[in-house]
Structure 1
Amino acid sequence: MFKREWKNLDKVMLFSTILIVCCSLCIIGSATHINKGVINYDFVAKQGGAFVLNLLIVLFFSRFDYTRLKLFAKPLYVLNLLILLAVMFVGTSALGAQRWIQVGPITIQPSEFSKLIMIICTAALLSNKVDKLNSFKSLLPIGLFVGIPFLLVLKQPDLGTSLVFLAITFGMLFVSNVKMSLLRNIFAAGVVLAPIGWHFMKDYQKSRILVFLDPNADPFGAGYHIIQSKIAIGSGELFGKGLFQGTQSQLNFLPENHTDFIFSVIGEELGFMGCIVILFLYFLLVYRGLVTAKECKDPFGMLLATGIVSMWAFQILVNVGMTCGIMPVTGIPLPFMSYGVSALTTNMLAMGLLMSIYMRQQTMIF
């Protein structure tokens, strides 16, 4: 039985993920090993422990029949709304946002888990509507379905995760054979309505967009992150300064160097070649996810795989672009790389679902 399951496992996806997380632990260790003059690896220990536990969960999920999730879509959707509402009333605040819930010594970020829950729920909704989305009226229930949790996350405020919701939804609509003219019109409407959304944004969110256009307009304020990130990546040149040898990250010039700006540390310490290796591993991960979606004959499984790949691809694109100064700073973590137990658990569970979809297709073939 073990040999048969190992044969059907997507080993490229599994080992790509393991390599990314191993690189992540090295970079997190480099970025955080000195805290107030004392050497410790608490962040590495927490992230590494979470990875080992999640890896066991992934292996369990790979044997799980993903089609059963469709039966729990409605309860999961209600649960998702409840935990997002709970953040508003009992959540803890940090860095100007209320996104976390403290459960004893454990800090949970519900919006991270919300992304995977919405993939499952939206896939269940769209699985019965494939090839039937040809009017605005047919899209209206989907808009309301996604719009409620979208607004709850936006209220925290968490613009980055809200944008991930949109990326997931558009990716899943695309493979549902929605009329392309509808998507173009929705995109055009979003561009037209963008100035209205500007008035509802927080001041720090507006500053991030303005400094994206000109970081030097506020070099010691909102533009500081981008400037330091570009210095770090540029100074790494071809092969980098070496692990634990970066100046911007080691001397704390680079803020959030183990979370949102961890790719900047990679650029500085491992150089252009290190960045290429990491991006190649991400390419393998996304590519295998697309292959899984393409080969899946079940609409629900196809939509699940597409939603997961859309989530990863969007977050990789935005995070890497953000650290290079070609995207606004939105606080979107780099999948499997940025420190954060909630984010790591969400991504590992997503990979487990992809493994389950892939293995079921291989079982059907053989």
Structure 2
Amino acid sequence: MKFIQNLKQFDWIMIGAVFFLTVFGLIIQYSLSLNQEVISFSNFNKQLIFAIIGIILMFLISFLNFNSLKNYAIFLYIFILILLISVLFFGKTFRGTQGWINLPFGINFQIAELTKIILVIVLAKYWSNNIYNIQSFKHIILTGIITIIPFILIALQPDLGSALIFFGLWLGIIFIISKPKILIKILILFVLIFGISWFGLKDYQKDRIIIFVNPQVDPLGRGYQIIQSTIAIGSGQFWGRGLGLGPQSQLKFLPEARTDFVFAVIAEELGMIGSFLILGLFGILFYRFWEAIKKIKDDFNIFLILGFALVFFIEIFINIGMNIGIAPITGISLPFLSYGGSSLLTNLFIIGIIQSVIRKT
């Protein structure tokens, strides 16, 4: 009887949306395994294992009480800063980013993924403690400092895409809670920071911004990915080419099809109907986040779910944006769909935390 009562406490609509998104991701990874000269399901099998582990982890996490985490926020923050500094010297390099650590069983984990969870917890703790004067410019600056330290450490790896998620998280919350006068100050500050930081960007990072504005400047070089992605999306039309039959993805015209440009693969092989189905599932996910926030009384948990929702929104917006050519290429993955064990485990872990909060509401 108690077991059935526990099951009723879950948000099964949210879990269903996450499950179907994860299954969609596995289907696309399976499809991309068919384009090998010698067909190999190694990547698909790895992703399947991570999906199974992640779903089990999600349910286990949902039975824990994360309210107590706010009492350890400062220690979690120090812990993640130590890890971020350590990987700059001892981390494993993958896809040009020195931000990975080796775990048992040959697993590589990206520290930036863990940073997402801890930073949301730390900021939720700070904002909930200062709820009555949260719009103070002092608190906005202090939370900005809390955010900028991991931002810089991750940008040094270099992983500007992941770093931008943290900046977007902070900025998103500020826009939600701030008065118009403060927003104007922040906007001016943002313009100044962006102008100054331009001179600190590496050449390839500047190229990404220039190519975003006009990919035809270098169609066979820096602009190649965006051009091939938009071709793939357009060629899918309404019904798509069919699984395993997309010429751009299957013939390897589309780089990083498993990760950065998985949405283009979905659009090419499953068409507009598949793309809208994915967007619909994401829409359900955000609707359930909003419904959960409306029911919660505790300020910490409200900011916790709001923070995680913003992280998902930023990742989805930027990833799909760079697939359709309205955002620069940053290497940000599409939640639950892109290949990568670190990302999938982290996202399912986050859903587990949110389910834990919902169950205790």
The TM-score, its normalising length taken from structure 2, stands at: 0.96
Partner residue in 2 for 1:146: 147
Root mean square deviation of aligned Cα = 1.4
Segments of structure 2 that go 5 or more residues without pairing to the other structure are none
Residue 161 of structure 2 corresponds to residue 160 of structure 1: yes
Letter in 1 for 2:53: L
Alpha-carbon separation, structure 1, partners of 2:15 and 2:79: 30
Residue 225 of structure 2 corresponds to residue 257 of structure 1: no
What SS is found at the alignment partner of 1:134? coil
Residue 185 of structure 2 corresponds to residue 208 of structure 1: no
Contact 2:148 2:167 in 1 (8 A): no
Partner residue in 1 for 2:5: 4
Q: What count of residue pairs does the alignment treat as equivalent?
A: 359
Alpha-carbon separation, structure 1, partners of 2:203 and 2:31: 33
Partner residue in 1 for 2:270: 270
Segments of structure 1 that go 5 or more residues without pairing to the other structure are 362-366
Partner residue in 1 for 2:356: 356
Contact 2:17 2:284 in 1 (8 A): yes
Displacement of 1:137? 2.3
Q: Deviations over 1:283-314 (max 9, x none)?
A: 11111112212221000000000000000011
Alpha-carbon separation, structure 2, partners of 1:74 and 1:137: 19
Displacement of 1:27? 0.4
Q: Percent identity?
A: 39
Displacement of 1:102? 2.9
Partner residue in 2 for 1:20: 21
Displacement of 1:87? 1.3
Alignment of 1:284-323 (within 5 A): 284-323=284-323
Range with bigger deviation, 271-280 or 183-192:
183-192
Alpha-carbon separation, structure 2, partners of 1:286 and 1:7: 20
What SS is found at the alignment partner of 2:330? coil
Partner residue in 2 for 1:227: 227
Contact 2:212 2:328 in 1 (8 A): yes
Alignment of 1:1-366 (within 5 A): 1-35=2-36, 37-103=37-103, 105-174=106-175, 177-361=177-361
Letter in 2 for 1:245: L
| 1:201/1:9 CA distance change after superposition, 3 Å | same
What SS is found at the alignment partner of 1:38? coil
Contact 1:171 1:306 in 2 (8 A): no
| 1:116/1:199 CA distance change after superposition, 3 Å | same
Contact 1:73 1:124 in 2 (8 A): yes
Q: Deviations over 1:188-227 (max 9, x none)?
A: 3212332211111111111111111111100111101000
Displacement of 1:97? 2.6
Contact 1:113 1:343 in 2 (8 A): no
Displacement of 1:171? 3.3
Partner residue in 2 for 1:364: none
Range with bigger deviation, 146-155 or 258-267:
146-155
Alpha-carbon separation, structure 2, partners of 1:193 and 1:120: 26
What SS is found at the alignment partner of 1:156? coil
Letter in 2 for 1:124: K
What SS is found at the alignment partner of 1:255? coil
What SS is found at the alignment partner of 1:101? strand
Displacement of 1:174? 4.7
Alpha-carbon separation, structure 2, partners of 1:187 and 1:331: 25
Contact 2:263 2:323 in 1 (8 A): yes
Alpha-carbon separation, structure 2, partners of 1:93 and 1:252: 24
Displacement of 1:329? 0.7
| 1:131/1:184 CA distance change after superposition, 3 Å | farther
The TM-score, its normalising length taken from structure 1, stands at: 0.95
Range with bigger deviation, 249-258 or 179-188:
179-188
